Structure 1
Amino acid sequence: MTESDREYSYSSIGKDIHRLDALKKLSGQAVYVNDMILPGMLYARVKRSPHAHAKIVSIETSKARSLPGVRAVLTGKELPYKVGLYLVDKDILAKEEVRHYGEAVAAVAAETAEIAKQAIDLIEVEYEVLKPVLDIKEALLPTSALVHPNLGSYSYLSAAFTPIPKTNVANWTKIRKGNVEKAFGESAYIVEGTYENPSVQHVPLECHVAIAQWGIADKVTIWTSAQSPFTVRNLFCKTFSLPLQNVRVIVPNVGGGFGGKAGIHLEPLVACLSRKAGGFPVKFQASREEEFSLLPCRCALTYKIKTGVSSKGKILAQKMELFWDSGAYADYAVNITRSAGYSAAGPYEIPNAWVDSYTIYTNKPYGTAFRGFGHVEFHWGIERHMNQVAKAVGMDALSFRHLNAVRPGSVTLTGETLSPFSGNVLACMDAVASSIGYGKLSAEEKLLEEKGIFRIGKGLALLHKAPAMPTNTSTAAIVKMQGDGTVSVNVGLTEIGQGSTTALAQIVSETLSFPLDRIDVKIEKDTDSDPYDWQTVASKGLVMSGNACIMACKDLLAKGYAVAAQVLKTRPEELSHTRDRVFVKAHPQLQVSWSNLALGYSYPHGESIGGPLIGIGTYIAQGLSNLDKETGQGNPAMNWTFGAHAIVCKVNTQTGEFSVLKVVSAFDVGKVINPGLLRGQMLGGIVQGLGTALCEGYVFDTSGHLLNQNLTDNKIPTAMDLPVIETIAIESEQVEGPFGARGVGEHSMISVAPALGNAIEDAVKVNITRLPIRFEDVWRALHSKKGENHWLAGILSGFCTEQHVQEK
């Protein structure tokens, strides 16, 4: 093999390449919005409501306006705008009434952050406190107060969502498949259960922050820590009736998002403050407490499931009711409701299904997208429930899942038939079960149990998820060759910590057969210069932007070959290339360098041909359709990613204390692009999943005050809390994916909690149905067991609910 041949065979896919942005971030050279200070920049603060629901009687701002250094003060009455993603229901600042604790009622821009804080303290607000709607059961009563009395007048995306005017239901998604009642009548067993999740905070390392400057001729520039610059631009322009060309959104490095930075949040407020302050740039940096109450969280969920099974354990019918507590505003919650509705059965084939998924307004901080987009929440219910169904029919949980899990040819809730390229959930389950020795104890585990008060439990849980996105979701990539033959790549996909910059560089490297040191994927996003991307959400980035990059690379090569063919007096089909040159395959000595082609080739006598080599690639999701509003039938899924978790835990049978000893996770990723990045995604999601399982969740008092709006009272796991973690990649290539890859960004968080719940039940035979699982919950359940066959009696503090099993 010649040196040229070795260069030509250069490969990047499957290599454990360190993140290309790591050194800048580790050294502190990476620039975030909070690092930015613009000339003349002002600083914003907001006045937040101490009440969950109240009428605004008056707001006195004269003292704040007269404070030296204050340049702008705003209240809701001055802002005749509504903001919303799929349902336009939110004011920039509260008008007439506040709908949740921590909602902003006034804002200030001042020359320093300290002056802004002083001005906020000088603003006096008189409220008439109203009784808040805090419980979803209460919210659904015909006599309930309405969080949004004007719901019927709001604009919304009618093709996908169904708000119910004069109720607290912001959306109702229905799925109907087969004949549920007939199948229940034919079932040997019917098992019912209710499962609950609280709201949870995203806790990105970098809190929300935005800078806006409203310039002359209504030209607005926004710098923001956001997952979706084009969404910010589009929604901003819709809110203020501006043409898209008037608004420029710039996103530098982002310190994490997890869905909380996917929509539009602070940007309209700082822009309005800038306009009132005479066009000076205005910056708002949220505090950690404001992340919890001013800004959005994950929706709470109560999930009711009724399952009918045959005497042999085959699921015949399932009725599912999902009640999503979206808080005061709809935001992404309506789409979470829709996505969870068509995925609600988990990775199981249900021949007869009935799903009602509701988005419900309450007077709490509002819910939005969160890693997993509802799947973390409902998989807690479905995967705990599958264990109860297996027990009711006398089957082992593993065997039950083998019998009922989807496989090629299975039909989803919406009528989609899974192809042979849809992934293999059974392979994931078998891999994790084998790793933990499911169903038996090792010698070491037996020794631990012999100490008397401890029991070892082993549990597993399956998962699936497809990207939840509109039917016209598209993206693009631009690949440009520089004069020295290096390549720069521009995509609209935002790097929020998932490693997309490195993975896309590897895809470009593989497609061009160029080494990685020749590839530069730009991190900063700019809607004025970068190609469009819908959003950085839904685990679709690697698939869609990866495909767009492949097409852009092929376009660049085709253009380069066309010019080289003229230079070398041959056809493009006769050419090949290395990292440095294009050559004739039959006569390698006939060659031209990429550097001489990059900006246009010049002959010795001065004539030039070609021009700058720029490749353009686009990709749009294939085969998607809207769901029928009455039946839920359609094709909402671009592709599915399947996975499984297994957990080994140790439980103290006297106190209920438990510890997670080991987590094993397997995902069918199609094709591993970068093993290190993949493991990083898995580890991060598993740790977040453990947080959901063990300690995270909003706590409110009876008046709607959030009691744990900080990281002292709302714990998240740290490195000190980690068990042994094993990660497994299953590869069954996805036809539509770049080099066969599937997305896995969200999936590693899904079903961690039910795997733990199943492990605890395996150890001490108690059925926990509400998250998070605390030691006292296990203790209560242990001390409420009555009789050998009664799983859980007595509902204490609302933490656990009784299961109902009917044998027919």
Structure 2
Amino acid sequence: MGKYIGESIPRMESFEKVTGTARYVHDMALPGMLYARILTSPHAHARIVNIDVSKAEKLPGVKAVLVGSELPYKLGLYLVDKDILAKGKVRYQGEAVAAVAAVSEEVAQEAIDLIDVEYDVLPAVFDPVKAIEGDAPLVHEDLGSYDYMKGVFHPVPNTNIANHFKLRKGDVEKGFKGSQHIIENQFTMPQVGHSPMETHGVIAEWLPGGRINIYTSAQSPFAVRNLMSVAFNIPHSKIHVVVPYVGGGFGGKAGIHLEPLAACLSKKAGGRPVKIVARREEEFNTIPCRQGLVARIKTGVSKEGRIMAQEITYYWDAGAYADYGVNIGRASGYSGAGPYDIENIKLDSYTVYTNHPFGTAYRGFGHVEFFWAVERQMDIIARELGIDPYEFRMKNLLKPGSITITGEKIRENTGRVDKCLKMAAEEIGWGKKKTEAERIKELKEGRVTGRGIAVLHKAPAMPTFTSSSAVIKFNEDGSVNITTSGVDYGQGTYTALAQIAAEVLKMPLEKVNVVWESDTDTGPYDWQTVASRFLLMGGNAVINAALDLIEQMKEVASAVLRAPKEELEIGDEKIYIRHNPDEFLTYRQVAMGYCYPNGNAIGGPLIGRGKYIAQGLTNLDPETGQGLPALDWTYGAHGVEVEIDIKTGEINIKKIVSVFDVGKVINRILCEGQVTGGVVQGVGTALYEGYVYSPDGRLLNNSFTDYKIPTAMDIPEKVKPLFVETPQLDGPFGARGVAEHPMISVNSAIGNAIYDALGIDIMDLPITSERVWRAIQDKKTVGS
């Protein structure tokens, strides 16, 4: 492609992070800064009868105490349903009820302990399926009065349904009547914590003049600014948001969380800056998590193995508030059948309020969850028909010319899931059967092996009008600075953007600097760094900014070299005449404006501006879900080999092959790192992770003592990332995103491999050793 595209360039910020010089919110302190702590509810659902803060207010060192009744503001991304502090009643155990700002964390915590709250415990609901029954307690009695994004989301008043997404294509009843086999199953997945290395942190100051300054560990400074502006009815120009280095997000730092509370505490404290840093227990209990899911799938299949009809119902455990949950329900609706060519489908996706901690965006945005059901179902169907799971998938996968469930036509440049599956299956040794001697040997040794495959797809879930922008400005020495307000919180996109800029500008990569800190006062607009959209959209914005800069350089050089712009070329940090390369100007000569020998000057500081907005997207029909919801689709497949100890149920993942059609690899080592990290995170979802509650809704595993995530000891013996490159026509150099995708379908591939090894179907996550062991005890023979 060129000098930098496709190369394995180390991440630009590596030195700062390794040496500890990278500055995070946790490291920051402002003059006069106060420290805040939060009082949370011990009950899942209760009326707040009285809050007595008198003792806390009298404690020396306390500068501000807040309760919900003082704050007339409502929060919400797509459905405005949340108070900054609980007001009237609490809706989940761990919800913030009161807050204190004091001269130290110790004093703030002492004050929190002095606050007395009287509760009247209410009936609660924890199961999303039961929550939509007519006699279920209402989590939000006033749902019908809430503001929401009309035409996109569909809350149902007087119920616990925050959003009902419907998709209809073809004639489902006719499809089932023409089916030879009908297979119906239910799959479940619990809520899961994001577990970033850096917990949520924010410093806010609400100055006496009405300006709010915010320093936050967020995934988008402009999203924080916009949501704060809407919540407080303050002009955007009076809200200044800065995002420094961020220690991981995985979707949990999208939107707003602690920022409004810190700002309100600052206001009450007379404008002194207030810092809130979530403790790890609060990261689990108070900050939102990933939604849980109950999935029911009914599939009709012909004798030849073609999917004739499918009926799917998703019940999303949104917890106490809608947040991103309603959009997850929507995204899982329009992509919720997987990358399959299905003529007749009926899909209902319900985002349901419960009295659990509320759900938000999480890597995969619902796809990790529903693909657990879809790809386990595909293996079960193949087994029912006596067809190889690989052949069954190949018979039904989307291919060029297919029509998706929302009516989009698949084209040659859309991406090839069939190529991904073929490569994954070959690399994992699919189709190689165990000999009788090998099977007997395994059983004698007490460790059986199995292989599983699974496919996936995902497109960015974002508004139709989402956009990105970038600015590239020259420095005096001819180097450039790139400013963009997308956030690199560990995925390495800034390095990829630098490669793209260096490639277009034809200059050394070491002379391209991406400004790390994102700042709404000085940076160009970007919607959010979510949905695996930033490389495609931010990359296109950088390309356009670089082309704008080149155009300006040529204008100056045209006058100096006395040649038409059309006859000028760039390369090696020079603008030269195409037919006479010895006539040139260097980038350094034109960067700040060109000066003639007599002192006359032309040009001026050169600044390139670029932007990109999603093209052609539409809202979806509220009754059928038809339309164009997605900018681009990234397809992939996993092949997994597992080894299971029959005596203990312990699962050892020997190998995972993960293949993705990324359009074009911009930075190979970064892509491989994304895949490896995503696969390990997927292993966590598959084998270990899940919130565990007491019968009254108390979260029992709200620390790393009891909530287990993969460690270095749990990384599969071999993770092999591979890439297919079907260029995305509107992507930067043909690229499309691959940030979330490696985590999707890892769980289902493992589940399918477990069946291959043991003949046992696991339908509920996580697949713990205990769950496998119990299933083995319930089975008369193993490995048959």
- Report the TM range for the smaller structure's normalisation: over 0.9
- 1:89 aligned to which of 81, 105, 110: 81
Task: Give the deviation of 1:744 after TM superposition.
Answer: 0.2
Q: Quickly say closer, same or farther: Cα 1:389–1:602, change in 2 above 3 A.
A: same
Output aligned runs, 1:686-725, within 5 Å.
Answer: 686-723=679-716, 724-725=718-719
1:543 aligns with 2:536: yes
**Aligned length, in residue pairs:** 782
Q: Would you say 1:159 and 2:138 are equivalent positions?
A: no
AA of the residue aligned to 2:732: P
Q: Do the aligned residues in 2 keep the contact of 1:439 with 1:458 (CA within 8 Å)?
A: no
Identify the residue that residue 356 of structure 1 maps to in structure 2: 348
1:255 CA drift (Å): 0.3
Amino acid of the residue matched to residue 523 of structure 2? D
Give the superposition deviation at 1:788: 11
Deviation, 1:602, is 1.5
Specify the code of the residue in structure 2 equivalent to 1:599.
M
Partner of 2:578: 585
Residue 348 of structure 2 aligns to a residue whose secondary structure is strand
Task: Give SS of 1:511's match.
Answer: helix
How many angstroms apart in 2 are the aligned matches of 1:442 and 1:245? 67
Q: Distance in 2 between matches of 1:227 and 1:419?
A: 33
Q: Which residue of 1 aligns with 2:126?
A: 134
1:788 to 1:28, Cα distance in 2 relative to 1, 3 A: closer
Q: Equivalent residue for 2:772?
A: 778
C-alpha separation between the residues in 1 aligned to 2:358 and 2:219? 18
> 1:661 Cα shift?
1.0
Query: What is the DSSP-based 3-state SS (H/G/I as helix, E as strand, rest coil) of the residue aligned with 2:187?
Result: strand
Q: Do structure 1's residue 744 and structure 2's residue 738 form an aligned pair? A: yes
Structure 1 residue 477 and structure 2 residue 470: aligned? yes
Letter of the 1:435 counterpart? E
Q: Give distance in 2, aligned partners of 1:211 and 1:172.
A: 37
Determine the C-alpha separation between the residues in 1 that align with 2:781 and 2:146: 54
Q: State the alpha-carbon separation in 2 of the partners of residues 509 and 261 from structure 1.
A: 30
SS in 2 for 1:280: coil
Alignment check: 8 A CA contact 1:445 1:456 kept = no
What do residues 102-138 of structure 1 show as CA deviations (whole Å, max 9, x unaligned)? 0010000001111111110111111111121111222
Letter in 2 for 1:735: L
Aligned equivalents of 1:50, 1:244: Cα separation in 2: 36
**Corresponding position of 1:565:** 558
Aligned match of 2:320 in 302, 323, 328?
328
Normalised to the residue count of structure 2, the TM-score between the two structures is 0.98
CA–CA distance in 1 between the matches of 2:344 and 2:297? 13
Q: CA deviation at 1:445?
A: 7.0
Query: In the alignment, what sits opposite 1:665?
Result: 658
Equivalent in the alignment of 1:645: 638
Describe the SS at the equivalent of 1:346.
Answer: coil
How far did residue 657 of structure 1 move? Answer: 2.9
Aligned match of 2:450 in 454, 457, 479? 457
Q: 2: CA distance between counterparts of 1:28 and 1:385?
A: 47
- Deviations for 1:615-667, whole angstroms, at most 9, x for unmatched residues? 11110111100000001000001010000011101123454332211111110
| 2:600 equivalent to 1:604 | no
One-letter code of the match for 1:342? Y
Residue number in structure 2 paired with 1:765: 759
Q: Which of 30, 39, 55 lines up with 1:38 in the alignment? A: 30
Selected match of 2:187 from 188, 195, 205: 195
Tell me the SS of whatever aligns to 1:63. helix
Are residue 486 (structure 1) and residue 479 (structure 2) matched? yes
Q: Give the secondary-structure state (helix, strand or coil) at the position aligned to 1:531.
A: coil
Q: Which residue of 2 aligns with 1:553?
A: 546
Q: Is the 8 A contact 2:506 2:573 kept in 1?
A: no
Output the CA distance in 2 between the equivalents of 1:656 and 1:111. 52
Say if 2:243 is the partner of 1:215: no
1:115 is matched with which residue? 107
Distance between the aligned counterparts of 2:670 and 2:358, measured in 1?
Answer: 32
Q: Which amino acid aligns with 1:749?
A: M
Query: Alpha-carbon deviations, 1:367-425, whole Å to 9, x = none?
Result: 00000000000000000000011111110100000100111111111111111111111
- Give 2:498's aligned amino acid: A
1:576 Cα offset (Å): 1.8
Distance 1:592 1:448, change over 3 A: farther
Contact kept in structure 2, 1:10 and 1:515, CA below 8 Å: no
Q: 2:263 aligns with which of 230, 255, 271?
A: 271
Does structure 1 residue 534 correspond to structure 2 residue 553? Answer: no
Q: Do the aligned residues in 1 keep the contact of 2:681 with 2:710 (CA within 8 Å)?
A: yes
Identity over aligned residues, as a percent?
54
Instruction: Tell me the residue number matched to 1:4.
Output: none
1:554-600 superposed Cα distances (whole Å, 9 cap, x missing partner):
00001100110100001112112233322212222222221121111
Give the aligned partner of residue 731 of structure 1: 725
> Over residues 270-316 of structure 1, what are the superposed CA-to-partner deviations in whole Å (9 max), with x where a residue is unaligned?
00000000000000000000000110000000000000000000000
Q: Map 1:69-108; keep pairs closer than 5 Å.
A: 69-108=61-100
- Following superposition of structure 1 onto structure 2, how do residues 786-805 of structure 1 map, counting pairs within 5 Å? none
Cα distance 1:10–1:647, how it changes in 2: closer, same or farther (>3 A)? closer
Aligned partners of 2:777, 2:225: CA distance in 1, in Å?
A: 55
2:295 pairs, out of 295, 303, 307, with 303
Q: Deviations over 1:436-457 (max 9, x none)?
A: 1112158997696264433210
Paired amino acid for 1:196: T
The equivalent position to 1:422 in structure 2, one of 392, 397, 414, is 414
Report the counterpart of residue 525 of structure 1 in structure 2.
518
CA offsets per residue over residues 127-184 of structure 1, 9 Å max, x none? 1111211112221111111000000000000120000000000000000000000110
Amino acid at match of 1:781: A
Cα distance between partner residues in 1 of 2:403 and 2:271: 56
Aligned to 1:342: 334
Q: 1:484-527 deviations in whole A, cap 9, x for unaligned? A: 11010011110110001100000001111111111001110001
Q: For residue 367 of structure 1, what is the aligned residue in structure 2?
A: 359
State the alpha-carbon separation in 1 of the partners of residues 450 and 2 from structure 2. Answer: 47
Listed one character per residue, the Cα deviations across residues 652-697 of structure 1 (whole Å, up to 9, x for unaligned) are 3454332211111110111111111001100110000000000000
Distance 1:309 1:447 in 2: 35
Unaligned runs of 5+ in 2: none
Alignment partner, residue 576 of structure 1: 569
User: Which residue in 1 is equivalent to 2:383?
Assistant: 391
CA contact (8 A) 2:558 2:565 kept: yes
Residues 758, 782 of structure 2: 8 Å contact kept:
no
CA distance in 2: counterparts of 1:448 and 1:737, whole angstroms: 51
- TM-score, with length taken from structure 1: 0.95
Find the counterpart in structure 2 of residue 802 from structure 1. none
Following superposition, the deviation at residue 776 of structure 1 comes to 2.1
Name the CA distance, whole Å, in 2 between partners of 1:341 and 1:425: 20
- Contact 2:776–2:782 (8 Å) recurs in 1: no
Q: Helix, strand or coil: the match of 2:748?
A: helix
RMSD: 1.6
1:281 alignment partner AA: P
Distance 2:205 2:161 in 1: 37
- Counterpart CA distance in 2 for 1:447 and 1:306 is 36
The amino acid of 2:374's aligned partner reads: I
Aligned residue among 139, 151, 173 for 1:147: 139
Deviation per CA, 1:234-267: give whole Å up to 9, x if none: 0000000011101010000000000000011000
